[in-house]
Structure 1
Amino acid sequence: MILAEPYSDVVAQHGEGPVWDPTDESLALVDMLRGDVVVVDGSHIDRRHVGRVAAAIRPRSQGGWVLGVEQGFALAGRSFTEPSHLPPLWSDTDLRMNDGACDPYGAFLCGSLSTSGRPGAGALYRMTSDHEVKEVLGQITTSNGLGWSLDGSRAYFIDSATQRLDEYRYDETGGFSDQRPLARIPVADGIPDGLTVDAEGGVWVALYGGSAVVRYAPDGRLTHRVRVPVSQPTACTFGGPGLATLLVTTSSLGLERGSEPLAGAVFAVVPGVVGQPSQAFGG
């Protein structure tokens, strides 16, 4: 097991959705329940408020950012000033967006959950570059990690309530089919949360409550375990020179005040495997 070390000070209450920005060589993430985007550039921290919930963030191919917000999607420029919110996808105030990523075809996917914990109330939505949105998976309880195989033919998805990392066949229309469990995570190891896929096709999964990030090979073998010195890792991505550093966001949500002084910081480790550039949104 290898140990991650602090990359930043505490920057979020519930940090999520990290993505490396090669243009500025900085890390963007969301402080989800405060509705903020946080950009970490060395010791400089920039924070922008984008709504009641900032669920996910990814770059746009034409510049700027696409966001998952409380009830749908939003678009923003480089500075995040006055993001443009697209029409909401629902009116149920018990639902909110939670995590998202861009697929190999330039579409942005983000999934929802019920804040009261209603089983199966969430769904996964896909927005294409022309801003058309459709539901691609339903009956989800806690929509979380999302990524794709190197050739784009398979999607990896986590509904945290299942304690699984699932694999699907995937196509250019956003079709999910032939679901199968790639890995089952014991409850004692933590709750599977956000994920990223490295340049060798390995899937890294943050274990919320488990103080760890684990890596599964494409055949489902557990190959790496990174220890994180706080209990609630939320998500991960690769960044830094050569995308050689695994960066891990964390949360202090629900913890006793002062019990984990570094909860909400970003942690880093060089695991010996490099990442791949984040896919941008085509719209």
Structure 2
Amino acid sequence: MDVLFDYHGELPECPTWDADSQTLYWTDILRQEIHHYQPQSGTHGVMHFTEEVGCFALRERGGLIVALRSAIWLTEGEGRLTQKVCDNPNNPQLARFNDGGTDRQGRFYAGTYWGPRDYNGALLCRVDAELQTTVLQCDILGANGLAFSPDGKWMYTSDTPNHVIYRTPLDAQGDPGQREVWKTFPRGHGRPDGAAVDMEGCYWSALFDGWRIARFSPQGDVLEEHTLPVRCPTMVCFGGPNMKTLFITTTRENISDEEIKAHPLSGAIFTLPISVPGMTKLKFKEN
């Protein structure tokens, strides 16, 4: 496992690989930024926003769809907001957007994180090709772990503060059925955060507070675990020329100065070579 380059963020999340340009994108939620980095050239750029960017996806038409705290927007290539898609269906004073991405039809999903943590007040919504937004799931404290099986029959999500991964059956149009508990985690052994699925249908999860990432079979069995030199990984994605590199974001949010001194790579992005290629994230498709 290696460090991608000399970078330390506050809360890096939503790593997204663009195969066309061989570029890694990610958001630093608390710094209100989206970064992009080309490993081959070492080129690093930053787009600045006026609110936290919980998640985003690349668009087929160019630019991004971004979930800011108050609303979801379309942007042009350099991040300038061009069209509001919808307001945050949660109360933006209490819930910011968090994890998200696209499904196998190219629709954009965005979940929220319920800040007060007094009940499961967060949700998961979806933006379709007509830019219509639908709330799909509620009863969530912190939406995370969005990923889809290669055959398009299952959607995976996690609720990090509640230590659970769910899976939801999808019909032929990709619409969700009844959510079910897929895997729970005991307290003190890491919480399931951001995730991705490989070509064998195995689910890779960043185990926040757990010092590691893990690969689970479609049946939920642990197949691999990889230890990190930092306590809190936040999300993983596949990339590289053959989709056999796992990029891992980590955080230093709410980490003491003493811990950062002991573990200075907190907030860095790591790379891990893997044997099974990952699923490519589709770009957001608009009509």
Matches within 5 A, 1:91-102: 91-102=91-102
Amino acid at match of 1:123: L
After TM superposition, where is structure 1 displaced by more than 4 Å over at least 4 residues in a row? none
Amino acid at match of 2:95: L
1:180 equivalent in alignment to 2:180: yes
Q: TM-score if structure 1 supplies the norm length?
A: 0.93
Match of 1:53 in 2: 52
Match 2:30 to one of 22, 28, 33: 33
Amino acid at match of 2:275: G
Match of 2:6 in 1: 9
**Aligned residue-pair number:** 280
Q: Which consecutive residues of structure 2, in runs of 5 or more, have no partner in the other structure?
A: none
Query: Would you say the 8 A contact 2:171–2:177 is kept in 1?
Result: no
Q: Distance in 2 between matches of 1:171 and 1:74?
A: 28
The more displaced of 179-188 and 10-19 is 179-188
1:118–1:172 distance in 2 versus 1, CA, 3 Å: farther
Q: Percent identical across equivalent pairs?
A: 25
1:271 equivalent in alignment to 2:274: yes
Match of 2:199 in 1: 199
Query: Would you say the 8 A contact 1:9–1:262 is kept in 2?
Result: no
Q: Distance in 2 between matches of 1:207 and 1:11?
A: 19
Instruction: Tell me the SS of whatever aligns to 1:55.
Output: strand
The Cα offsets for residues 18-67 of structure 1, whole Å up to 9 and x where unpaired, read as 01011221100000111100112233321111231111121112222111
Deviation at 1:268, TM superposition (A): 0.7
Instruction: Tell me the SS of whatever aligns to 1:34.
Output: coil
CA RMSD of aligned residues (A): 1.6
Amino acid at match of 2:233: P
Amino acid at match of 1:139: D
The more displaced of 75-84 and 65-74 is 75-84
Match of 1:163 in 2: 163
1:148 equivalent in alignment to 2:145: no
The Cα offsets for residues 260-282 of structure 1, whole Å up to 9 and x where unpaired, read as 21111110111212112112111
1:21 equivalent in alignment to 2:15: no
Deviation at 1:173, TM superposition (A): 5.6
Q: Which consecutive residues of structure 1, in runs of 5 or more, have no partner in the other structure?
A: none
Instruction: Tell me the SS of whatever aligns to 2:6.
Output: strand
Amino acid at match of 1:107: R
Match of 2:88 in 1: 89
Match of 1:109 in 2: 109
Deviation at 1:83, TM superposition (A): 4.8
Query: Would you say the 8 A contact 1:11–1:264 is kept in 2?
Result: yes
